[in-house]
Structure 1
Amino acid sequence: MDAIKDLSQSAQTFAHDGQAFMTRCTKPDKKEYLQICRAVAMGFAIMGGIGYIVKLVHIPINQILVGGQ
């Protein structure tokens, strides 16, 4: 009986916290949306640049170690 009571209490707490979270959430305005888009684009560019540099370094090293013809 105690386990059922704990489970129902956990479900009620989860539902209450979820409802409070949803009421606090707001739709981003245009300025905030553009800021998020810029941050994501910068992340993609940085990660792509790092990947490109790693690939540029990896290919010659791999050719030296493997001795590909």
Structure 2
Amino acid sequence: MNVQESFNKFIKDSKRVLKVSRKPDGKEYLELAKISAIGVVIIGGIGYIIVCLGHVIGI
């Protein structure tokens, strides 16, 4: 498969994705925002604990 065929396949696949995708409604958007915020808080908390343990251990 050459570069032109690969590019054409990418464009075709991208158009298909855009056709089936839709804009989330307010409830869906709020739910996604909450889940993302919870994930950020969890990852941040884990990072904070690791840094604190590093200071306690002396690394």
Tell me which interval the TM-score lies in, with the shorter structure as reference length.
0.7 to 0.9
Name the Cα RMSD after superposition. 2.0
User: What TM-score does the superposition give when structure 2 sets the normalisation length?
Assistant: 0.78
Cα deviation, 1:12-67, whole Å, max 9, x if unaligned, reads 322221111111110011111011101110011101111111112110211xx7xx
Report which of the two structures shows the higher radius of gyration computed on alpha carbons.
1
Equivalenced residue count is: 59
Paired residue for 1:47? 43
Q: Structure 1: how far apart are the matches of 2:10 and 2:47?
A: 41
Q: Structure 2: how far apart are the matches of 1:49 and 1:43?
A: 10
The letter of the residue matching 1:52 is Y
Provide the identity percentage: 34
User: What TM-score does the superposition give when structure 1 sets the normalisation length?
Assistant: 0.69
Structure 1 stretches of at least 4 aligned residues deviating more than 6 Å after TM superposition: none
